[in-house]
Amino acid sequence: DQQVKQNSPSLSVQEGRISILNCDYTNSMFDYFLWYKKYPAEGPTFLISISSIKDKNEDGRFTVFLNKSAKHLSLHIVPSQPGDSAVYFCAATPRGAQKLVFGQGTRLTINP
């Protein structure tokens, strides 16, 4: 039972354009959400997070949007750069829990 789903295994975007990565969740108890980025042969690194009391959080080129009624979140990267090519995982948790539930990941490729 996949509680956090990333339905697009891969995404290809032209450099300078916007990248939009999507994530859906089923557990209504989830109220804190994160995105992690992973390069080959490295561990994931934390990118950005959002609490359910907000619907948007921005950090430089990265913005995460949360639609609680649709149980959907998205990560926008603009403008996309070649160094953004990586696998992106979304993750979720109920506040107070000590662990995260991860999605399957989406491989983003930025083309020059």
Partner 1 sequence: NAGVTQTPKFRVLKTGQSMTLLCAQDMNHEYMYWYRQDPGMGLRLIHYSVGEGTTAKGEVPDGYNVSRLKKQNFLLGLESAAPSQTSVYFCASSYSGSPYEQYFGPGTRLTVT
Q: Which is nearer to partner 1, 9 or 16 (CB)?
A: 9
Rounded to a whole number of angstroms, the minimum distance from the CB of residue 41 to partner 1 is: 7
Q: Which is nearer to partner 1, 9 or 82 (CB)?
A: 9
Q: Which is nearer to partner 1, 69 or 99 (CB)?
A: 99
Letter for the amino acid at 14? Q
Tell me which residues touch partner 1 (CB under 8 A).
4, 6, 9, 32, 34, 41-46, 49, 89, 91, 93, 98-105
What are the DSSP E strand ranges found in the chain? 4-5, 10-14, 19-25, 32-38, 45-51, 56-59, 62-67, 72-77, 86-93, 101-102, 106-111
